[in-house]
Structure 1
């Protein structure tokens, strides 16, 4: 263990007895019906979550709800939404609580709040587009939320698309990463963490990464209690992946430096075992973590389109089917 990490662990234990608990700002009690406006998803507690939309409003062939990743916001689906719109597929995405342009940024809202928001939005889209298939697509952290939502409320969607889902659970992490996180999240919950200095590349699209670095709606660092909340979410998603029994498309990149391949491979095995006839696992040899925005992003989005349109044979996919 490094000297720096040892100092963090010691600091955490020193403050443990006098510190506050992690801050969680969950959704409030329901005060009205959920609804969609031009620029917002109004949740059941009245919270306004910024909303973006791509594609036809009136009569789409299919509808997708996109859930963005940790530190990101709804604009994560701009490339996918723009491309899918040309095939008459509508994509909606909102800023999840605690992220992007929401009022509760930068505080964790809790797993239940994230899942309830996704389920409520799916219900709203089903009501707005009767007779049209509705899919849930989760990217990274959003993929973990999508797993829990699909496992617990499958009746609100016709299928789930998992894009590099965040499923690196604590059981697969070395102790020197989980122990400090557990201690510090209860001792110094306000301590910001950032990925600066780490030799990790989330994408091969350097120009896109530069744009994101200048985007004020992207989180450049996160409170440690948010990271602990993400770890809880990844644990639960890893546990529940094998319970999904609806059509599932899992996409991952072999160059992913954020979520270890063995973590994604473990849930792929669970999904195939529990749902062998309705699951597709897609591997992209040149894919990084930000699959939809990598240089190979258009190819990934093309496979998503083919899967949604249905009838695609194995030879039609650009990825390696596993």
Structure 2
């Protein structure tokens, strides 16, 4: 059984919707704080989080400013503010859960898609290094937004026009639809996305400019974890992701994480963008995430140790994957 709790939290002048999925049989083994993606909301992950809670991992999430149930009127849609506002909101949500003593459960932070890019950006900022980043036991990224997929890459003219307009009308709302067919291989999931009134696909010129700036900084290697700050990192990405770029994520893992000793990259062969909702195989993703977290809590996992790369050769199921140093070196040399 899993206990679900809804609520709100006051963060930097905004009332934001929150939801938690809690183990029903006592204190959690770990706490996972989740940051959702563009046009998404925390209840879209409702098949993923209960599985983690059943394994003793308490999950807490919030609908970010401008998204989901944190939107009260149409004028609120996409009103995220710039990057400083986005990161400040995340930090304000995360900080109360951070452990204050050795008996507190370890805290993990996970971001999906846009949220994955936000998580990496937060970990690269000096102002959050000691008070936040170093106190998080591990970081997880699901299909992080480090680069556009070919299907979603905007033209340079559209980007330039948007930036110029954003200087004059930062709060102007602009729809940026993402085709449900590009998000999941599961037809039922695609339909639920198309029918979800909370997925409004609307950003502001200021918010979208901030999103592009964060992505460009990550793709260029300018934004990367600070030395000695990030303890552990797990990244999962589908090789057929049609929304964010698998190759850009792989390149970031190979070139920008030299300071992170405990790290793992999991390639899900043939999977799309929403690893948590990509059909029956998603149960393997649930297990991979749960195993990785619990291994860093002193037990409960079933996979390999940290500091290695998992290739996902068995259709992303984690079976028979070559995690040897030689294989990892070959993949690094290939520089996808």
TM-score by length of structure 1 reads 0.77
- Matches of 1:38 and 1:46, distance apart in 2: 19
Distance 1:49 1:267, change over 3 A: same
Question: Quick one: distance in 1 between partners of 2:135 and 2:217?
Answer: 20
**Residues 150, 160 of structure 1: 8 Å contact kept:** no
Distance 1:232 1:316 in 2: 30
Q: Map 1:32-111; keep pairs closer than 5 Å.
A: 38-43=6-11, 45-56=12-23, 59-102=27-70, 103=72, 104-111=76-83
1:300 matched residue in structure 2? 285
- Answer with 116-125 or 136-145: which moved more: 116-125
- Paired residues in the alignment total 281
Aligned residue in 1 for 2:215: 234
Secondary structure at 2:9's aligned position in 1? Answer: strand
Go from structure 1 to structure 2 and tell me whether the alpha carbon gap of 1:220 and 1:199 turns closer, same or farther (over 3 Å shift).
closer
Alignment correspondent of 1:278 = 262
Matches of 1:164 and 1:126 in 2, distance apart? 25
State the partner residue of 2:119.
146
SS at match of 1:266: helix
**Using the alignment, how far apart are the partners of 2:223 and 2:27 within structure 1?**
34
Partner of 1:179, secondary structure, is helix
Asked if structure 2 preserves the Cα contact closer than 8 Å seen for 1:242 and 1:267, the reply is no
Q: CA deviation at 1:53?
A: 0.8
Q: SS at 1:287's partner residue?
A: coil
* 1:226–1:113 CA distance, 2 compared to 1 (3 A): closer
- Superposition TM-score, scaled by structure 2 size: 0.74
1:113 aligned onto 2:90: no
Greater Cα offset, 120-129 or 229-238: 120-129
In structure 2, the partner of 1:313 is 304
Structure 1 residues without counterparts, runs of 5 or longer = 1-36
Q: CA deviation at 1:173?
A: 7.2
Task: List gaps (5 residues or longer) in structure 2.
Answer: 296-300, 329-336
Distance 1:128 1:105, change over 3 A: farther
Alignment partners' CA distance in 1, 2:99 and 2:180:
46
- Quote the Cα distance in structure 1 between the aligned partners of 2:311 and 2:145: 27
Shift of 1:240: 1.7
- How many Å apart are 1:120 and its aligned residue? 2.2
Q: Secondary structure at the match of 2:236?
A: strand
Aligned to 2:177: 195
Partner of 1:133: 106
Q: Deviations over 1:245-291 (max 9, x none)?
A: 3200011000111112232122111344332x311011000221111
The question of whether the paired residues in 2 share the 8 Å contact of 1:68 and 1:139 is answered with: yes
Name the CA distance, whole Å, in 2 between partners of 1:128 and 1:206. Answer: 44
CA root-mean-square deviation = 2.9
Give the Cα separation in 2 of the matches to 1:77 and 1:128.
28
CA–CA distance in 1 between the matches of 2:119 and 2:89? Answer: 11
For residues 134 and 289 of structure 1, the distance between their equivalents in structure 2, rounded to whole angstroms, comes to: 25
SS of the counterpart of 2:244?
coil
Aligned partner (choices 214, 233, 240) of residue 248 of structure 1: 233
